[in-house]
Amino acid sequence: MQTRRLEAARSAHYSVTVLSQAAAGTQLPSLTVTLAYVRACRGDLAAWERRWKEARDAVAAAERSDDGLPSPYQGLARFEPDDHHKFFGRDALVARAKALLDERRFAAVVGLSGSGKSSLLRAGLIPALRSGGRNLAAIRILTPGERPLATHVAALKAAEEDAETVVVVDQFEEIFTLCRSPDERAEFIDRLLTARDPGSGLRVLIAVRADFYGRCAEHRALADTLPDCSLLVGPMSPAELNDAIVRPAQTHNVPLSPATPAT
């Protein structure tokens, strides 16, 4: 059994612990982990994605308050840019990510699976960039997929000569887990790294799982660039966790239990 678990973990590119937690049924795993598990077991991806979405909707319905109003909490779903009004507890990290991207034309956010990298970028950084007063032509967010260059070549072009385009590459590790062509993988990374040229009209930020950080060393230019432009996402402090619990409820005028900590 342990051998089978190790084989499945290698195939899915997740640790045995992550896959075991996904199979335990104690909480809904992310869609990415679910599909990686299904792929490793050679299951029907479309069918299991549909089941995952049904389960997500069921969880969301269960989390509604007694009076039928939507819960102020995101639950298990990833935060998106339109959810920024519910995204709390990461203000300092959002500010650091924005400052890093201001200083560096190419930057990276690194963290463990489930650390909140995607939500940080989507509901934290992107709204901060939009309201930051910069002359931005566009903000584009993408995930590499199986054919990163063929799929996203248009997104890696600057939109205007007098304004910059920001490209956010979420789940960057897909260039290793899904892209099977070493040549396309290398060329995609090369295209991203052109952002380092001040005349490119681009700024690029990638989010990569910590357990794939070492594989970035397979590309020499990427290995040379990352040490000076990476932001590590760690767990929330007690004060940040308090904000993440209390402030969404306050914003939506939802009463909290007397036992709930408050600022």
pTM above 0.85, yes or no: no
Asked if 58 and 140 sit in the same domain, the reply is no
Residue 72 lies in a domain: no
31 pLDDT above the threshold of 90: no
State residue 76's pLDDT score.
63
d(CA 158, CA 138): 8
Query: Is the same domain home to 129 and 226?
Result: yes
- Confidence check: pLDDT of 27 > 70: no
Identify the band that residue 7 occupies on the pLDDT scale cut at 50, 70 and 90.
Answer: low
* Residue 63 confidence (pLDDT) above 80: no
Mean pLDDT of the chain: 82
Question: What does 53-114 look like in DSSP terms, one character per residue?
Answer: HHHHHHHHHHTS-TTSPPPSS-TTSPP-GGGGGG--S-HHHHHHHHHHHHH-SEEEEEE-TT
Mean pLDDT of 37-66: 75
Asked if residue 45 and residue 105 are part of one domain, the reply reads no
Task: Indicate the angle between helix axes 16-24 and 31-40, nearest 10 degrees.
Answer: 100
Angstrom distance (rounded) from CA 199 to CA 27: 47
Segment 184-198 shows an average pLDDT of 96
> What is the count of structural domains for the chain?
2
pLDDT, tens only, 211-243: 999 999 999 999 999 999 999 999 888 998 888
- Report pLDDT for 53: 81
Question: Would residue 252 count as lying in a domain?
Answer: no
Task: Verify that 142 and 216 share a domain, yes or no.
Answer: yes
**Does a structural domain hold residue 168?**
yes
Within a domain: 241: no
51 shares a domain with 95 = no
Residues in a beta bridge with 107: 205
Q: Which helix (H) or strand (E) holds 206?
A: strand 202-209
Range of the domain at 34: 2-62
Return the higher-pLDDT residue of 189 and 248. Answer: 189
- 98 and 216 share a domain? yes
Domain end: 13, 47, 62, which one? Answer: 62
User: Is the residue at 68 inside a domain?
Assistant: no
- Structure confidence by residue, pLDDT tens digits, 124-142: 999 999 887 677 888 999 9
Task: Answer with the residue of higher pLDDT: 226 or 3.
Answer: 226
| Residues 112 and 213 grouped into a single domain | yes
Domain identity same for 21 and 130: no
Q: What is the CATH number of the domain that holds 129?
A: 3.40.50.300
* Domain-located, residue 146: yes
Q: What is the pLDDT of residue 2?
A: 44
> Would residue 245 count as lying in a domain?
no
User: 38 and 160: one domain?
Assistant: no
The most confident of the ranges 2-11, 34-43, 196-205 is 196-205
**Cα 185 from Cα 219, distance rounded (Å):** 9
Whether the pLDDT of residue 16 is over 60: the answer is: no
Judgement on whether residues 94 and 41 belong to the same structural domain of the protein: no
Instruction: Say whether both 31 and 153 belong to one domain.
Output: no
For residues 30 and 151, membership in a common domain is answered with no
Q: Is residue 15 part of a domain?
A: yes
